[in-house]
Amino acid sequence: MTTLVTGARGRVGRTLIDLLHERGLPVRAASKAPEELQLPDGVGAVACSLGDPGTFAAALEGVRSVFLYAEPEHIDAFLAAAGEAGVAHIVLLSSSSVLMPGAATHPIAGPHWAVERALAAAPVTATVLRPGHFATNALGWAHALRTSGVLRVPYPEAHTDPIHERDIAEAALAALIEPGKAGGTHTLTGPESLSFREQVERIGRAAGRPLTVQRISEEEWKRETAAYIPGHLADALLGVWADSDGREAEIADGVRELTGRPARSFSQWAQDHAADFAA
C-alpha cells in the first residue's frame, strides 16, 4: 500500500522517503516541482501542490496513507480527495505551537491549528505529530556563523527544545508502519532545553571553531532580517522568544513513545550538520 509523502523537498519528508524506501515499502514523493527532486531509484514522484486542489486526485490515486504538511488553505478539498481515493491513515506534521494561548489566530500556530481541526472532523485515522523547535532552524544562522562567527539576536537566552529532523521522520515512520501506533497526538521535542547561546556553543564545538552570540535590539534584528522574514512573522517570533527568555522549555517524551528510543541531542545534530557551519 503506497504512502504519499507531501513536502518531499523538506528535510523531514525527504528523510521519511528514505526510511520507507530502505524497508522496501512503496512510497510516492509529492512536490509542486517533482522534476527537481533527487530520489532513490525506484521512488516515484508526482506533482502535488497543497495550494492547488487540481493536483490532489492524481497524486492520491492508489494511496493508502499520507504524510501531510500543515497547509490549511485547501485542507477540506485535500481530505475530500483523500476520502475518495480510499486513504485510511494520515500522519500530520503539526506543531507544538498549537498548545499556546490564542493558537487559532497566531501567525505561527494558526495554520497548524486549522489543519488539526479539519483532520479531527474527517472520517480517517489520523496521527498528529506536534514537534517543538526544529533543530534545522539553526541552519538559518549558517551564513552569519560561517562568515563572521557571530550570531546577532535580540534574545540570546531564549530557550527552545530543538529536535533532530530524523527523530521526527522516524516517529512518522513508526506511526505509519507499526501496528497499534496509528492514531493519537504526540508532542515531540529534543531531549533538553537549550538557549540560543548554548546552541551556538555546541555548533562551534562541532565545527571546530569558536562561535559567539551578540545581543541586539528587536528593531536591529527586524531590519537585518526584513528581506526574508515578513514583519508579522518577525513580530510573532520576537514574542515567542521574549516569553522564553531565560525560561526553560518543557521537554516531552513523544519520540520515545513512538520509536522506543530517546531523542537525539542537539550536539548530535550539530555534528551531523557541521559542514554547514564550516568557515
The string of pLDDT tens digits covering residues 240-259 is 999 999 999 999 999 999 99
For residue 173, what pLDDT band results from cuts at 50, 70 and 90?
very high
Q: Which of 195, 196, 184, 188 is nearest to 152 (CA)?
A: 196
Percentage of residues of the chain with pLDDT beyond 90: 99
The string of pLDDT tens digits covering residues 114-165 is 999 999 999 999 999 999 999 999 999 999 999 999 999 999 999 999 999 9
On average, the pLDDT of the chain sits at 97
Q: Is residue 89 predicted with pLDDT exceeding 90? A: yes
The pLDDT of residue 247 is 97
Q: Is residue 79 predicted with pLDDT exceeding 90? A: yes
- d(Cα 202, Cα 193) in Å, to the nearest integer? 13
Do residues 133 and 195 touch, judged by C-beta distance below 8 A?
no
The pLDDT of residue 1 is 82
Domains of the chain, CATH where assigned:
2-131 (3.40.50.720)
Q: Which of 193, 187, 202, 190 is nearest to 246 (CA)?
A: 193
CA angle at 223 for the pair 112 and 147, rounded to the nearest 5°: 95
The string of pLDDT tens digits covering residues 20-73 is 999 999 999 999 999 999 999 999 999 999 999 999 999 999 999 999 999 999
Do residues 90 and 68 touch, judged by C-beta distance below 8 A?
yes
The pLDDT of residue 279 is 81
CA angle at 10 for the pair 99 and 276, rounded to the nearest 5°: 105
Return all residues near 270 (Cβ < 8 A) that are at least 6 apart.
Answer: 138, 199, 202, 203, 205, 206, 207, 277
Three cell numbers, residue 191: 531531549
pTM for the model stands at 0.96
